[in-house]
Amino acid sequence: MASRTGLIITSIIIILVIIGAAYYLAKGGGKGTTTTSSAPATSTPSPTTSTPPATTTSGAGGAGGECIVKIGFTASLTGKLQKESAEQLNGIKLWEEQVNSKGGVKLPDGRVCKIKLVYYDDESKSARVQELYQKLITSDKVDYLISPYSSGLTAAAAAVTDSYHKIMIATGAASDSIFTKGYQYVYQLYTPASRYMTPTVDLLMKLDPNNKKVALLFENSKFAKSVAAATKKYLEEKGFQIVYEDYYPPGTTEFSTYIAKIASSGATAVFGGGHFQDGFNLVKQLYDAKIKGLKYVAILVAPPEPAFAELGDAAVGVIGPSQWEPGVKYSPDAAKKLGIEWYGPTVEEFVKAYEAKYGHTPGYHAAGGYAAGLLIQYILEHAGLDTEKAKQLLDNLDLMTFWGHIKFDNTPEKHGLQIGHSMVLVQWQKQGGKLVKVIVYPEEAAEAEPVYPLPWGS
C-alpha cells in the first residue's frame, strides 16, 4: 500500500514539474520585463518607471495601509517633439518626487499611496502612442493617465484611453477638436487653440490700430492649423486684411520662399509658427530678411521657451502666447476673490523647487506637466481610485492652482474642453544690456510695457 502511495506522489511531482517547465518556457525562459531608467521604446517596449520609497508595499493594501498608484503616459524622449516633451516630463517628475517625499497621497478610504510613474518613449509618433497607451492600460494596469505632448499625439491617445473609460489629463495639447468627439474621460489643462492667439490680436489693436495688413504662416499640423483658423476668424472679425496665408510642412527649416512672399505682400504684421524648432528658425530668418515695414511678429510656442533667447537680438520684440509664466499672479487671494478653491503650492514655491532640481527657470511646458500631476493628486484625495467618482469631480471642478484657473466644459458637445484657463503674452526685451522675458499682456498681469514696433524691422 505504501509503495502504491509513493508511486502516486512521485507521479504528481513529475506532472507539476512538467507544468512548471511549460509555464517557464511560455514566459520566455525567464526573460521577463525589466524596468530601467533608460529603456528605449522598441516593438516590445519596456516601460521606464519611477521607484517609490522602499517602505512602500506594492498592491492595493488595506484600509489605513499603504499602496502604490500608477500614473501612465508617454513622453517624446526622441523625435521632433523631444524638447517640449522633456520639459513636460521634468514637471511630472518633480510632482511625483514631492508627493512621495511627503509620504504619499491619502485617499478617502484612509490608505496612503505613493506615486509610481510608468512611461514609454513614443518617438513623437502617433502610431506608437496608440500602441503604448493600450499597453499602459491593459498590461501595466495604470490607475490614471497623463497625455503625451502635442495635440496630434494626444488625439491619438484619447481614442484609446476613452474607449477603456480611463481618465486622462491632457496637458501640452490645445486643439479644440479632440473635445468635439464625444469623449467622456479626457480633460484639457491648456487654454484651447480657439483662444490661443486672440490676445495677440487684441494687443496689436491696442498698440497700433492702423497696423491692419497681416500675413499668416503656420505649420501644417493639427494644433497649428486649429490656432490659425481661430486667429484668422478673429482677425477678420476685427477688420484686419489678410494679405498672405500659407502653411509649411512639419519639420520645415528653410523659410526663404515663404518670407519672400510675405515681403512682396506688403504685410506689416506676421502671425505664425507651430512648435519650438520651426518657430525658432522662422523668427531667425525673418530677422535676417529685414522685411520693409514689418512692425509686429507673434509666434506660437517658441518665444516662451528659455532656449528662444539663443536667437539674441532676433528674439527682441517678438510676441509669444504662453500658457503660464513664472511671473503670473495666481494666488490663494486671487482664488478667494473669485470665490473658488485654491489647491497646491504657490507660483513662487513651484518655481523655487523646479529651479533647485533642474537649475533653470520653468517654462509653461514644465508647469503643465506638474499641473497634470497636481490635478491627479487632487482627484486621488477626493475620489480615490473610483473612476466614475473622479469623472463627476472633474465635471464639476472649479479650482485655482499655481497653473491658474481650471474648469472644464461638461456639455456633451465639448466635454472636457478647458474653459477656465487664460493665456498671457510674453516678449523678450533688452533690459540693462541683458535679454529678459517679460509678461506684457494682459495689463493686469503685465511686468513691462511692450516694445513696439519691432526694433529689427526695416
The answer to whether the peptide bond before residue 40 is cis (omega within 30 degrees of 0) is no
Give the residue carrying C-alpha cell 495635440. Answer: 151
Q: How many CB atoms lie within 10 A of CB 2?
A: 6
Task: Tell me which residue of 149, 146, 194 sits closest to 172, measured CA to CA.
Answer: 149
pLDDT tens per residue, range 50-105: 766 543 334 444 445 569 999 999 999 999 888 889 999 999 999 999 999 999 99
pLDDT tens per residue, range 121-174: 999 999 999 999 999 999 999 999 999 999 999 999 999 999 999 999 999 998
Structure confidence at residue 458 as a pLDDT band (50, 70, 90): low
Lowest mean pLDDT among 32-36, 96-100, 122-126, 336-340: 32-36
Is residue 409's pLDDT more than 80?
yes
Q: Which pLDDT score, from 0 to 100, does residue 253 have?
A: 96
Q: What span, in angstroms and rounded, lies between the C-alpha atoms of 342 and 18?
A: 61
To the nearest whole number, what is the mean pLDDT of the chain? 88
Task: Tell me which residue of 165, 118, 106, 73 sits closest to 369, measured CA to CA.
Answer: 73
For 205, 298, 428, 430, 455, the CA distances from 314, given in Å and listed in that order, are 23, 13, 9, 11, 9
Q: Which pLDDT score, from 0 to 100, does residue 54 have?
A: 46
pLDDT tens per residue, range 210-264: 999 999 999 999 889 989 999 999 999 999 999 999 999 999 999 999 999 999 9
**Residue 110, phi-psi category: left (phi > 0), alpha (psi -120 to 50), beta (remainder):** left
Q: What is the pTM of this model?
A: 0.75
Angle at 335 between CA 178 and CA 97, to 5 degrees: 65
For 169, 285, 325, 341, 363, the CA distances from 166, given in Å and listed in that order, are 10, 44, 30, 26, 28
Lowest mean pLDDT among 18-32, 46-60, 270-284, 324-338: 18-32
Q: What span, in angstroms and rounded, lies between the C-alpha atoms of 238 and 236?
A: 5
The answer to whether the peptide bond before residue 453 is cis (omega within 30 degrees of 0) is yes
Q: Which pLDDT score, from 0 to 100, does residue 329 have?
A: 85
Q: Which pLDDT score, from 0 to 100, does residue 35 have?
A: 33
Structure confidence at residue 46 as a pLDDT band (50, 70, 90): confident
Q: Which pLDDT score, from 0 to 100, does residue 193 have?
A: 87
Judged by DSSP in three states, 77 sits in coil
- 25 versus 404: the higher-pLDDT residue is 404
Mean pLDDT calculated for residue range 181-187: 97
CB 297, CB 270: distance < 8 Å: yes
CB 414, CB 179: distance < 8 Å: yes
Copy the grid coordinates of residue 452: 513696439
Q: Facing residues of 405 across strands?
A: 400
Task: Tell me which residue of 206, 237, 144 sits closest to 452, measured CA to CA.
Answer: 206
